[in-house]
Chain A
């Protein structure tokens, strides 16, 4: 069933409709860009006219200078690289370990029942509180930061993926069993493939949580990274550095999220993942 209408001659109504859709799309994009431009322009002008104090609020031109200085000193990509690496490691390891634990808990309903209250408690505990413990146990370095990111994303991954596994369509499971399938086959033929979308969703959540974990970790202990720049800038009252770092952070986080969306799109185009419903 192809929905593509290869129309050679379009009706006037169709042309009008398409035009309207295009116009709407362009206006949304245009307004989005204008908001951004106005925001930074207003910020710059207000700072120049001394309506706001650039010492406290910084201003776009000073942020550009800070960026150039950082670039010239060769530190810019070091800081971005360190933070991005920690985040990628945090969420990759978190997703993998979380999924593995979810598989084990799915496998044994008994174990699942046993560990349920512990997972609930760990999930509600603010993981930042564990920071000092990690630093003492693992050392004041990037390892602690990665573990911090891991701690924040792991339990959520376990709960989310496990929940998805447990909600697999029972009749699809039954179908595999009618062919004499064992538990491993139920897992490999149905539970895992039908839940790839759920796992990708866990990945999306994890990206955000790992950023939280990494920046928190860098606040607590670090010698490099965007979180380090923010804390350092704050301590020496250099708002230019703080603001610049926050904006770089926002861009990096958005790009990484887009990356995950791209993976999702690739997978669904290749039909590796199902859309979950039957009709």
Chain B
């Protein structure tokens, strides 16, 4: 096993409000090694996104700690990039200006980083669109632009919070394929939260299943496919895909 880049240690989270206390996460621990792609699935409202916000440093847990590269984090870390449910590209900025947003905010807008951002745009086929506005791009291209915006600040770890859920199904499959290959190509570590079991199996090396609120880890599934040059679509066709799906589905214990 290679070294752990992210270490989640005994995380617990209680929300306070006038009407009472919500125990969102009970006690969750796991670690992720460099280059690994892991997914977190769980019943809706189980605190998956809360967990991701805690790992990103946006939210302070009421218990436990997060280590990134063996350092405890108290605030957002430059090593972590966050992908939200929608692309949230700003309409009033061009694609290039959108991509530079993270660099502007972290005050690292220098010639070198700008060149890197342009390089990413070129590598991933958006260079010709850099002076267009988001409304002039297709959903898939927008998602790619959003990923480049995240990559421009050179994070080592990507957090994907239901990152494709706003797309229609066909686009979603294509975008998943696209984003997956970019993440692998850039050799990033990724933690994805999703409610889509197939998506989690097709992309991940490991799937963590959470219980209902307050969240605990119910089980962890190592996903292994024999296909060479693994891509999400190829995985969906693999013979053991269905088996993984059924196992996770049973554990989620969904009742209507």
Contacts and interface: CB of A to CB of B under 8 A. Distances in A.
A175 B84 contact: yes
B76 A274 contact: no
Interface in A187-203: 189-190, 193-194, 196
Given A177-B58, A179-B76, A1 B136 contact: yes
Given A179-B106, A189-B105, A174 B84 contact: yes
Contacts of B214: none
Interface stretch (B20-28, B87-95, B248-256): B87-95
B106 A180 contact: yes
A50 interface: no
B58 A174 contact: yes
Nearest to B78: A180
A132 to B, nearest CB: 45
Contacts of A171: 84-86, 88
Contact of A278 (B56, B78, B86): B86
A174 B135 CA distance: 21
B105 A185 contact: yes
A265 B104 CA distance: 28
B29 interface: no
Nearest to A173: B88
Contacts of B56: 178
A137 interface: no
B87 to A, nearest CB: 7
A174 to B, nearest CB: 7
A189 B104 contact: yes
At the interface, is chain B mostly helix, strand, loop or mixed? loop
A275 interface: yes
A178 B76 contact: yes
Given A174-B58, A178-B56, A178-B58, A275 B75 contact: no
Interface string B137-149: 0010000000000
Interface string A164-187: 000001011011111111000100
A73 B76 CA distance: 71
B82 interface: yes
Contact of B92 (A169, A179, A180, A194): A194
A179 B136 contact: no
B101 interface: yes
A279 interface: yes
Interface in B83-122: 84-92, 101-102, 104-106
Given A174-B58, A180-B106, A279-B139, A190 B90 contact: yes
B153 interface: yes
B244 interface: no
A278 to B, nearest CB: 6
A190 B87 CA distance: 14
Nearest to B136: A1
Contacts of A169: 88
Contact of A271 (B87, B92, B153): B92
A180 B86 contact: no
A149 to B, nearest CB: 31
A214 to B, nearest CB: 33
A36 B52 CA distance: 65
Nearest to A180: B76
A196 B90 CA distance: 13
Contacts of A172: 88, 90
B133 interface: yes
A64 B102 CA distance: 63
A67 B153 CA distance: 66
A271 B133 contact: yes
A272 interface: yes
B90 A180 contact: no
A278 B92 contact: no
Nearest to A190: B90
Contacts of A180: 75-76, 78, 105-106
Contacts of A273: 92
Interface string A73-98: 00000000000000000000000000
Nearest to B76: A180
Contacts of B81: 178
B105 A176 contact: yes
Contacts of A175: 82, 84, 88, 101
Contact of B88 (A193, A276, A278): A278
27 contacts: A1-B136, A169-B88, A171-B86, A171-B88, A172-B90, A174-B58, A175-B101, A176-B105, A179-B102, A179-B105, A180-B75, A180-B106, A181-B105, A185-B105, A189-B101, A190-B90, A193-B90, A194-B92, A271-B92, A274-B92, A275-B91, A275-B135, A276-B91, A278-B87, A278-B88, A278-B89, A279-B139
Q: Which 8 A-B pairs have the closest CB atoms?
A: A274-B91, A178-B82, A179-B105, A179-B102, A274-B92, A181-B105, A180-B76, A175-B88
Interface of B: 56, 58, 75-76, 78, 81-82, 84-92, 101-102, 104-106, 133-136, 139, 153, 166
